[in-house]
Amino acid sequence: MKTVESEMVVAPIEGEKLELRRDVTVWGSYMWGYADVGADIYAALGLVMAAAQGATNIAFAFAGLVYIMIGLAYTELAATYPVAGGGQYFTLRGLGDFWGFVAGSALLLDYTIDIALFAVASMGYLNALVGFTTGVDLTHVSVALGPVDIKAVWLAESLFLIGALIWLNIKGIRESSLFNEIIGAVDIVTESTIIVFGLLLAWKPELLIHQWTFEFPSLDRFMYGSSLAIISFVGLESISQAAQETRRPATIVPRTSVTLVFTVFIFALFFSTVSLGILPWNDFVGHEQDAIALLASRIPLLGIIAGPFAAMLGASILAISANSGVMSASRLTYSMSRYGLLSDWFDKVHSKYRTPVRTILIFSLIGAAQTILSFLTPSAMDTLGNMYAFGATLGYTLVFISLIKLRFSDPYSPRPFKMPFNVKWRHSDRVVDVPILGIIGMLGVSTILFEVVLTHPLGRIAGPAWVIACLIYFYWYRRSQKIRVTSTVKRDWESEQIEVLTGAEEWEMLEDYKEALAERDKKILSAGTGQRIGRS
């Protein structure tokens, strides 16, 4: 039964700015991340298998190790700065307005592609379920449009799902989070079941060794596959995006993020390893849209039930990943608008639902447009996967640089979680912990970005074209505000941090922060007094 308090909406005072509502619990925070990251293996397994062949699990392992470092970086930053905006906000604070906008545009590409890719993949699994139960293959029902055959039913289903998710997110974060929590919990059980019974009933280690030995890809194909494998780990940003709507984020975010990082890494590594020991890699070619369902259907005894059930769960978990894309795109642009990187037109919160309605509509519709365009190419899944990898790796590279920079420029903000393995470095009058894993992670994700640019013909054209188009808008908007494109607007980050920690009810962090600032000011005052005495 809902309480009166849960239904109450406080009327805003006239002229008061509406803010996002803190409604996400610890389980909801975890599931926001799992909805985005946990679903990725459903979309990525077939794509990576077709590229990395017998080395698929090695490609996932390489991308996964980089992902662990990305996860640790996001955990530190989101717990330290629990506001909407994620990587864009961290880069804005660390590197200034221009690079903050670049990071925002790269991540916005990711989120709009997230909506498109996972809506398409979700409907691919739904069609696999229909195929299991009726024998009808809706995925390949096509309509000729000039020289292009468009898979019309699959496209229409994907657009319908995007429309439903727009309504869900306008309705509110609580309803959207609840949707994630229920389906995500069932999916974790299902994925574990497929792995366990696949190992017990169908896995052949000799097939795995054979594929490692005789089906190993060329270096070019391995690079292509490992760069696609990173899309299995994109989405941890969702926890950061929901931090401003999470209760006690400094306490919740580290627990949920670290747990999520290792959950998803283990699932991705096990799924790819089990797959190579059950089926030849080329059996997955043509099944990019329903690879997990194909794998489940080949488990002896259970396959007749496991295949359809995996298809049903794949459709559901991919739908909540697309749902997380809608949420993240809207929160990202909401944040960029608040900090003057986008027009304040985007900074509108619905008076009843307290959700950023304009950003939800605009960027979800961009995701719908990307869906339509992808169906004009030979493989919608591969096209969207290429774009997804570019946006993620560019954004993550900037986040790592910002993490390192903020250790020096903002040593006063309490960090309830720090990336492990730090080296002491004296900087000015303070000792700074330099994150060794942050440096390694930056080099790792930069390597994957290089692989994307080198091996993805579409990604190296369309990805930079998106960022350039966004920069053209940024140039126009800054000119209209009479601000130089490369300049950084002066902001009172210290007052904002106090306000953020107060709103999050992180009283211990707030007290530590104020004490650190007071100690700094005392040293500055003492140094100034000493200089005046010396001159006199």
Q: Which helix (H) or strand (E) holds 427?
A: strand 422-427
Alpha helices in 456-489 (DSSP H): 459-480
pLDDT-based confidence at residue 252 (cuts at 50, 70, 90): confident
**Calpha distance 390→220 (Å, rounded):** 17
Residues facing 149 on adjacent strands: 144
CA distances from 7 to 46, 172, 181, 258 (A): 44, 12, 20, 32
Same domain? For 380 and 528 the reply is no
**Calpha distance 187→310 (Å, rounded):** 9
Same domain? For 467 and 533 the reply is no
pLDDT-based confidence at residue 321 (cuts at 50, 70, 90): confident
Same domain? For 493 and 510 the reply is no
Instruction: Please measure the distance between the N-terminal and C-terminal CA atoms of the chain and give it in whole angstroms.
Output: 74
**Is residue 2 situated within a structural domain?**
no
pLDDT-based confidence at residue 1 (cuts at 50, 70, 90): very low
pLDDT-based confidence at residue 304 (cuts at 50, 70, 90): very high
**Is residue 8 situated within a structural domain?**
no
Q: Interior CA angle at 329 toward 325 and 334, to 5°? A: 150
Same domain? For 178 and 210 the reply is yes
Q: What percent of the chain clears pLDDT 70, i.e. is strictly above it?
A: 86
Say which residue the tokens 């390949």 belong to: 140
Same domain? For 510 and 362 the reply is no
**Is residue 334 situated within a structural domain?**
yes
User: Which residues does 355 contact at the CB level (< 8 Å), separation at least 6?
Assistant: 20, 169, 170, 171, 172, 173, 330, 349
pLDDT-based confidence at residue 22 (cuts at 50, 70, 90): very low
- Which of 192-196, 327-331, 478-482 shows the lowest per-residue confidence on average (mean pLDDT)? 327-331
Same domain? For 376 and 493 the reply is yes
Q: Which domain holds residue 527?
A: 506-536
Instruction: Give the DSSP letter string of 518-530.
Output: HHHHHHHHHHHHH
3-state SS, residue 150: strand
Instruction: Give the DSSP letter string of 173-238.
Output: HHHHHHHHHHHHHHHHHHHHHHHHHHHHHT--HHHHHHHHHHSPPPHHHHHHHHHHHGGGSTTTHH
Length of the chain: 536
Provide the pLDDT for residue 231: 83
**Calpha distance 441→518 (Å, rounded):** 34
Same domain? For 92 and 230 the reply is yes
**Is residue 97 situated within a structural domain?**
yes
Q: What is the pLDDT of residues 494-516, one digit of tens each?
A: 998 998 888 777 888 999 999 99
User: Which residues does 529 contact at the CB level (< 8 Å), separation at least 6?
Assistant: none
Provide the pLDDT for residue 73: 93
SS (H, E, C) 231-267: HHCCCCHHHHHCHHHECCHHHHHHHHHHHHHHHHHHH
pLDDT of residue 251 exceeding 80: no
pLDDT of residue 4 exceeding 60: no
CA atoms within 13 A on the CB side of 163: 6
Same domain? For 232 and 333 the reply is yes
Q: What is the pTM of this model?
A: 0.84
Most confident of 323-337, 381-395, 436-450: 436-450
**Is residue 284 situated within a structural domain?**
yes
Q: What is the pLDDT of residues 381-410, one digit of tens each?
A: 888 888 888 988 999 999 999 999 999 999
Task: Compute and round to an integer the Cα radius of gyration of the chain.
Answer: 24
Range 221-240 burial, b when 16+ CB lie within 10 A, else e: bbbbbbbbbbbbbbbbbbbb
Provide the pLDDT for residue 40: 84
CA atoms within 13 A on the CB side of 522: 6
Same domain? For 441 and 525 the reply is no
Same domain? For 388 and 526 the reply is no
Provide the pLDDT for residue 8: 32
Say which CATH number the domain at 344 has: 1.20.1740.10
Same domain? For 248 and 368 the reply is yes
**Is residue 296 situated within a structural domain?**
yes
**Token duo for residue 143:** 């309509």
Q: Of residues 25 and 332, which shows the higher confidence score? A: 332
Mean pLDDT of the chain: 84
Q: CA 511: distance to chain centroid?
A: 32
**Calpha distance 38→33 (Å, rounded):** 8
**Is residue 496 situated within a structural domain?**
yes
Same domain? For 366 and 393 the reply is yes
Q: Which amino acid is present at 76?
A: E
**Is residue 407 situated within a structural domain?**
yes
Q: Of residues 99 and 522, which shows the higher confidence score? A: 99
Structural domains counted in the chain: 2
